[in-house]
A and B are shown apart, each in its own frame.
Chain A
Amino acid sequence: MNEAANMTQYLTFTLEKDEFALEVVRVREVMDYTHITKVPRMPEHLCGVINLRGNVVSVVDLRLKLGMEAVRKSENTCIVVVEVRIDGEMLQVGILADSVQEVIDLDDEHISPPPRIGTKLNTHFIRGMGNRGADDFVIILDMDKVLADSCTGAVMSSDDVSAEEHQNVTLLQK
């Protein structure tokens, strides 16, 4: 067994019933939900801006961006501040998450390529599917691609993807 077999750490978080993962390296911090100032006349998924230690940081509702219903605020809702690269520029963006789980280690062996069939969820955003063991999969997102479209305001309408189709995706993983 190759010990240094490219183990990377990922932070897992949930959006609705799905579990997603992000490279820890890209995560700046996780903060409690705080007042978001809405910027008017902008697409739905760009929910507004927050004050992060004196800096004005944008917040994106990932659920709306991925075609689910909007985030429902609960006491576990938090904002994950990630670093993304958009148009060659490094930017900090906050992502609304239903809850944040834990940090896991995954090596390349346990990551399979994203499913190409049977899902209306834009697989463009998915870098791969991570197997945490016992066939428990997390969806590894490519944050740069997710947010790149935000500039042009391309939004997946929540009508397109029904809850059922989501089930299909998870079923396929198994």
Chain B
Amino acid sequence: MNAELQTEIPENSDLDREDKMNESGKYTDTYYQETEERLAEVEEAVLDIEQNPHDKEGVNRLFRAMHTIKGSGAMCGFDDIAAFTHHVENVLEKVRRGVIPVTKELTDIILASRDQIKIMLEAAYGKDVVTDAEHSACITAALKNLLAESWQGKTIDPPLSEDKEQSRTYRIQFRPDKGIFGTGTDPTFLLAELAELGECSLDGHKHTIPELKDFEPEHCYLYWNIILTTEKNMNTIRDVFIFVEDNCELRIDVIGEQANWDIETDIGKEHKKIGEILVERGDISSEELRNALKTQKRVGEILVENDTVDKDTVHSALIEQRHVRKISKKQQETVSIRVATDKLDTLVNLVGELVITQARMSQIVSSLDNTELANPIEELELLTVELRDCALNMRMVPIGTSFGKFRRLVRDLSADLDKNIELITEGAETELDKTIIDRLSDPLVHLIRNSIDHGIHTPEERKDMGKPRVGKIHLSATHRGANVEIIVRDDGMGIDAELVFAQALEKGLVSEDAELSRAEIFSLLFTPGFSTAKEVSDISGRGVGLDVVRREIDSLGGTIRISSEVGRGTAFVLSMPLTLAIIDGLLVGVGPERFVLPLSMIEECAELTPEQIAKTRGRNMTPIRGELIPFIRLRDIFTMSGTNPSIEQIVIVKVDNLRVGIVADEIVGNLQTVIKPLDRLYRDAEGISGATIMGDGTVALIADIPELIRCAKD
């Protein structure tokens, strides 16, 4: 009877696939994103275990990632991916059990499988790639081979499990002696040092401070209880206090370890409480229990009332409890939520406009001189700044996500060129705005390729030169003030400044008698069309040169410079702002108009007097501390009307190791403000990179200093 209801469901028909994409579009979109992430994990894990064959955790990660790809694939109807991945999973299962060892053969096959899965994924989503079924069969055969090889009798010793650095929670009781100030110590510096080691909750105790009449200002009456969660060990913590050990009481206890922290075992929840038992047996109702508990005072309160202990001490203990709870919660929930980037963009835009409106309100209120309004306005300002930082922070992503990609690049490329090169990364956890990271990806790839192709020699050549056979490329990212510094350094042959100069001379980029510093010579490499490679190799030097790299970095508001030593190596140093949305600038005025100069390029400000101008007889140059600085007058280059004031202001900027002065009528002040891009009608505006809205509601233009300099040169 049910036969009538059964219909034939064609398997794997094209219609089927289209349906999957259209009906449950969102559902399969998720699969795509998630699988991409799993594939990235696979790549990273393989490279990890290649370097460290006994990394048991790495093998586990690899297996889990593959397993998820297979499972989700089967669930979402991507049967071909699931079937293919199944073979990989079988092999990995054996690796996990220690039956198959980690060898280059294995890692090569797994990487090839990963690439194939990626192609299959993209083909399934209608992207412009075609799956080579023969290639799939080839890989599958290789995988089956690995399985079949009898590894029995070659049992691997259980690999030593690598101990990842444990994070522990310490309680530090720091009681400085009264006379500690006499040693020139400021305890707050020590506390700041501690805070840098990890997540820190401080609690200062003030109750030993005597009344004013007994108070001696040169004595220290404070002491601190600090709860610190860090991966560093006890000695590192002790080192913070190394100079004051004799002038204080110091006690450091371990109160929690990451591995066995379990909030459930906290505070004796192992046994059922009396109240719970009574409710279970039906002797009282839960309502009655609640009422009874309400009348119960908390332990802390009772103790304080009895004077057994003072409020500060209880407060301290509460802070410890709170800190520990926070840490364990964090460890349990590395939960994240996937948010579409355009939702984030909308949020950041709205917050940006809120900041602007709030700045205007603040300005209006300050001119009103109304004390009642002043307080809430100030609070509003603080909240708005926090909200802005929070919103921008959401777009911050650790740069490590890019670093993973480079490892594969270095491995494959150096294999192709028969060079032995190791990529060392540092600072993967440094966070940057996602857009900046995405756009930096290509330039960094280019720089790394450059190093591998032109910078580093083959192992034989290196040995002949007395260098270690393995070349190193060092990729690091660190916070430096308001910027992130990214360095790509190799220990290859370095750049010959004289050769560069000679080439520049040939191309007519410099004159023969030009005196350039080494840094300035290296800057020449960024000129379009410059290439010191004798032949344009397939890998790099394709005309996608350093000039493109520099332009991209410029457009992100960053800077790049080269430093190099022949025979030792070359370093490319990039300095990127943390975010694209906000600019730190100097506001200058020319007549009634206002312009913003990016603070990152500014070195100093000075006055420009008629006498100084007279000294150089009309050529736009002026001596500043012994150096002749050329200057650009904003009024002139922007063809604005009005007359220059007798005393003008000159702002010295440094671009590409060149110092130039930007002359304006007056310097208004610093400002930190949201960047508003100009729309396409002003796309070709020369010398302007954007606009911003100031506190009084008017628009100020942001000057594009490198472009102004280029315009002035013509």
Contacts and interface: CB of A to CB of B under 8 A. Distances in A.
A96 B689 CA distance: 25
B603 interface: no
A141 to B, nearest CB: 17
B638 A41 contact: yes
Contacts of B353: 53-55
A37 B698 CA distance: 7
B604 interface: no
Interface string B683-703: 111111001010001111100
A151 interface: yes
B678 A56 contact: yes
Contacts of A87: 680
Interface string A29-71: 0000001011111100010011101111110100000000000
B589 to A, nearest CB: 12
A93 B353 CA distance: 19
Contacts of B688: 39-40
Nearest to B683: A151
Nearest to A58: B681
A42 B693 CA distance: 20
B68 interface: no
Contacts of B685: 39-42
Given A37-B699, A37-B701, A39-B682, A56 B687 contact: no
B205 to A, nearest CB: 47
B676 A56 contact: yes
A53 to B, nearest CB: 8
A89 B680 contact: yes
A156 interface: no
Interface string B634-656: 00011110000000000000000
A37 B684 CA distance: 17
A37 B357 contact: no
B691 A56 contact: yes
A89 B593 CA distance: 30
Contact of B698 (A35, A41, A58): A35
A9 interface: no
A86 B639 contact: no
Contacts of B701: 37, 39-40, 49
Nearest to A89: B680
Contacts of A104: none
A42 B682 contact: yes
B356 interface: yes
Contact of A49 (B352, B594, B638, B682): B682
B266 interface: no
A37 B353 CA distance: 19
A38 B593 contact: yes
A56 B593 contact: no
A58 to B, nearest CB: 5
Chain B interface main SS type = mixed
Contacts of A60: 681
Contacts of B352: 54
A48 B150 CA distance: 78
B693 A151 contact: no
Nearest to A153: B684
Contacts of B677: 56
B699 to A, nearest CB: 4
A58 B639 contact: no
Contacts of A86: 680-681
Contact of B681 (A38, A41, A55, A93): A93
Given A37-B593, A38-B593, A40-B687, A58 B638 contact: no
Contacts of B264: none
A91 interface: yes
A55 B699 contact: no
A147 B681 CA distance: 9
A64 to B, nearest CB: 14
Nearest to A36: B699
B676 A37 contact: no
B640 A40 contact: yes
A53 B701 CA distance: 17
A150 interface: yes
Contact of B682 (A46, A51, A54): A46
A93 B679 CA distance: 9
A151 B681 contact: yes
A41 B639 CA distance: 7
Interface string A87-106: 10101110000000000000
A42 B677 CA distance: 16
Nearest to B640: A40
A92 B699 CA distance: 16
Contacts of B697: 51
Given A37-B593, A39-B701, A40-B640, A58 B687 contact: no
A41 B687 contact: yes
Nearest to A59: B681
Nearest to B638: A40
A60 B594 CA distance: 20
Contacts of A42: 682, 685
A18 B676 CA distance: 35
Nearest to B675: A56
B686 A41 contact: yes
Nearest to B690: A56
Contacts of A147: 681
A51 B699 contact: yes
Contact of A58 (B593, B640, B679, B684): B679
Nearest to A152: B684
B679 A51 contact: no
Residue of A54, A55, A89 ringed by the most chain B CB atoms within 10 A: A54
A40 B639 contact: yes
A91 to B, nearest CB: 6
A49 B699 contact: yes
A57 to B, nearest CB: 8
Interface of A: 35, 37-42, 46, 49-51, 53-58, 60, 86-87, 89, 91-93, 147, 150-151, 153
* 4 closest Cβ pairs, A-B complex: A40-B638, A54-B353, A37-B699, A56-B676
Given A56-B676, A151-B684, 19 more contacts: A40-B639, A40-B640, A40-B685, A40-B701, A46-B681, A49-B682, A50-B699, A51-B697, A53-B353, A54-B357, A58-B679, A87-B680, A91-B679, A92-B679, A93-B679, A93-B681, A147-B681, A150-B681, A151-B681
